[in-house]
Structure 1
């Protein structure tokens, strides 16, 4: 089951601030926490008590807690890869290895007696995960998560992201990636605060659009807000999203008839398997509404990329079919433009694959 997650940085916030954030996040439907141990400088017992208090609060709210660590932290806190009791003591559900070992160690760690998840950094397109799999890990305790990138232009490109992600998904591992809040006051674990996405193309996009893009790509399971603290409006924008598919926000055409409205917003849409290079085509509505007369009411000369079309009865057996334009096209005069994908979401239509499902909802 796909989860939405948040990130917390106990070294940079008061416990009260973190707990208020956890309260707001659980109300918005978030169920996972990424917590950072990378910048810890305090004594081991102090660290243990601080993290234990926050993690207990998070777990009482129903959150899963994964703690980010690196080999330097293992040394600083006198933790051995073959004795992970420290993480159980701070009530973590797992640990993310920002930098890994040789493959053998990671595999052995998945057999820890505390049933902790071992999360692998998946932002490098190398054979690390293949090596770990060669050492026969307990795959039920092995998960993976991408990095985030605080410096402008340093995030992953889409093609690289897709290629490296598939290295992990081929093994059926649960995966995660990060989205970034656009709140001006946000911060992460490092001094640079120019956004904190996994994908560079997400750096300036609204939070909900980033989430929808990941849903359309359908490559990662969990989607985590990387920086603190998102605004109430941002949390609300993703609260209630169907995480099994992408839902596009739509501006409707003036004078939209009731049947066309039902087709747009009450139907589960599916892109045809024989995909056109010009259109996403959802055809079940033409079967359901066969016999209904679809009159012309909005037939502009040019159908623009991102426009939503429902064919009129002047197109014969195509009547009632819903389409989304992938390119600008000349209108024959028989195609009604019934709405338009929200401008900053239009790029997501390129990610919709043959047979992929999606929904539409009216833009608020």
Structure 2
């Protein structure tokens, strides 16, 4: 599952949340540590958010303290008021007994601190007859640079948590509206702090076996929403690209639309399954046969015989080939997305000026 984060110290952007739901995000995370001088504002916001969650069939996990629960009219012994306003789960950290956690697990979803939970906790929760089907392990996000988790220890801990039967959640940073006061992103592991959020998400799932990925920061760009939407709902990778040939609409149209990476995936290139066998093209004259840097989008020309018309993306730097035309190049911002295209996965190019690719804004904009 994919989720996003919002913070109650500012007005909730429900248009953004609606777009995230449309993009395939199913969960919301927030914190309700209510300051002493702002009770009514925070309480009203969490109730309004809960109403939105219920109406849109989302989940709402909140990080709370005992003092906060009292202000909402609830307690760890009585969480019904939380359920009534749309909160579906609690993120539990220090200072809460395993007995309380076990009791809560029979009433709502519980997220434990993935980094600090240990063997003794699992054994005690089992003894206390906790409902483990409602318990997950959630990692923190780390606002301060150089304090994010080490990937080896992260992977090791996730393997242990899965062995205990727990699902695991981790955060990736946003790319648009970042949270202050540092504005340095909110990742779980340090290597993701400045990485493309979709690349980081896929890495969490494929390499670190994370079950749920949440955007830690409160905003991602409209383009990134579109990229997540295509990945989550259609298993398709959208790649921004810049054309390198002018006024050749036939060749540009040939690489427009949806492609599929061949199931017998090559080491050095992404090969379009449709380009030669289905999207037949009458003639491809030799042109722009320059060295193929990583991300080059190419079409084999007529000198390649039966391979003429094949569309490829280079995964590594390759030398010039007189039989291969370089038509466009994946933008630097999306270059790492090439590395997550799997065998049999769909992909599509986006060019700023169209040619059937769909107009976009290359910059990261507020949603």
Q: So what's the TM-score if we normalise by structure 1? A: 0.72
**Correspondence for 1:22:** 14
Q: Is the 8 A contact 1:109 1:118 kept in 2?
A: yes
- Residue segments in structure 2 that go unaligned for 5+ positions in a row: 353-359, 361-367
CA offset digits 1:270-293 (Å, max 9, x no partner): 2544441x2233333222135743
Name the CA shift for 1:159/1:174 in 2 (closer, same or farther; >3 Å): closer
Q: Which segments of structure 1 move beyond 6 Å, counting only runs of 4 or more?
A: 45-48, 70-78, 100-105, 124-137
**Correspondence for 1:53:** 47
Q: Give the CA deviation at 1:69.
A: 3.5
Q: Give the CA deviation at 1:128.
A: 8.7
Q: Is the 8 A contact 2:175 2:197 kept in 1?
A: no
CA offset digits 1:20-42 (Å, max 9, x no partner): x12343245365321103x4455
Name the CA shift for 1:155/1:242 in 2 (closer, same or farther; >3 Å): same
CA offset digits 1:179-213 (Å, max 9, x no partner): 234447x32xxx654332234344345xxx31354
Task: Report the aligned-residue RMSD.
Answer: 4.2
**Correspondence for 1:7:** 6
Out of 239, 245, 257, the position equivalent to 1:248 is 239
Give the whole-Å Cα distance in 1 for the aligned partners of 2:120 and 2:294. Answer: 41
User: SS state of the match for residue 62, structure 2?
Assistant: strand
User: SS state of the match for residue 6, structure 2?
Assistant: strand
**Correspondence for 1:313:** 302
Q: So what's the TM-score if we normalise by structure 2? A: 0.72
- 1:141 equivalent to 2:141? Answer no
Q: Is the 8 A contact 1:117 1:141 kept in 2?
A: yes
Give the whole-Å Cα distance in 1 for the aligned partners of 2:305 and 2:74. Answer: 74
Give the whole-Å Cα distance in 2 for the aligned partners of 1:98 and 1:328. Answer: 47
Q: Report the more deviating stretch, 131-140 or 247-256.
A: 131-140
- Residue segments in structure 1 that go unaligned for 5+ positions in a row: none
Q: Is the 8 A contact 2:167 2:211 kept in 1?
A: no
User: SS state of the match for residue 197, structure 2?
Assistant: helix
User: SS state of the match for residue 177, structure 1?
Assistant: strand
**Correspondence for 2:88:** 93
